[in-house]
């Protein structure tokens, strides 16, 4: 089971987007140990909508060409893993 439900993440993201507070404040308010989780949820929501907050039940498989393309893009750019994952539609950037 996921640590945080879709509903909980959506509530926190909505609070952030409506200006109720920044990442650190909302992390304390909602009991999320790391504000970076909230930042990731907001980015995923802004990029993918509701789907970005839902936990995927399937294991995505990427072709060798896709993997090579992503690695080459990472090496040629200054994008972080998270930014690259969002740009390429990869839901788990780790």
Give the model confidence (pLDDT) of 35-49 as tens digits: 999 999 999 899 888
Q: Which residues contact 4 (CB under 8 A, 6 or more apart)?
A: 32, 37
- Confidence band of 58 (pLDDT split at 50, 70, 90): low
Q: What's the mean per-residue pLDDT of the chain?
A: 87
Give the predicted TM-score (pTM) of the model. 0.65
Q: Cα separation of 48 and 26, whole Å?
A: 21
Q: Cα separation of 90 and 52, whole Å?
A: 10
């Amino acid at each position: 089971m996921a640590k945080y439900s879709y509903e909980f993440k959506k509530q926190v993201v909505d609070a952030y987007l409506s200006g109720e507070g920044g990442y650190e404040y909302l992390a304390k308010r909602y009991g999320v140990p790391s504000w970076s989780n909230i930042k990731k949820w907001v980015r995923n929501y802004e990029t993918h909508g509701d789907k970005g907050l839902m936990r995927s039940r399937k294991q995505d498989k990427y072709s060798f060409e896709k993997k090579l393309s992503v690695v080459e893009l990472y090496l040629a750019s200054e994008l972080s893993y998270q930014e690259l994952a969002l740009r390429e539609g990869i839901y788990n950037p780790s």
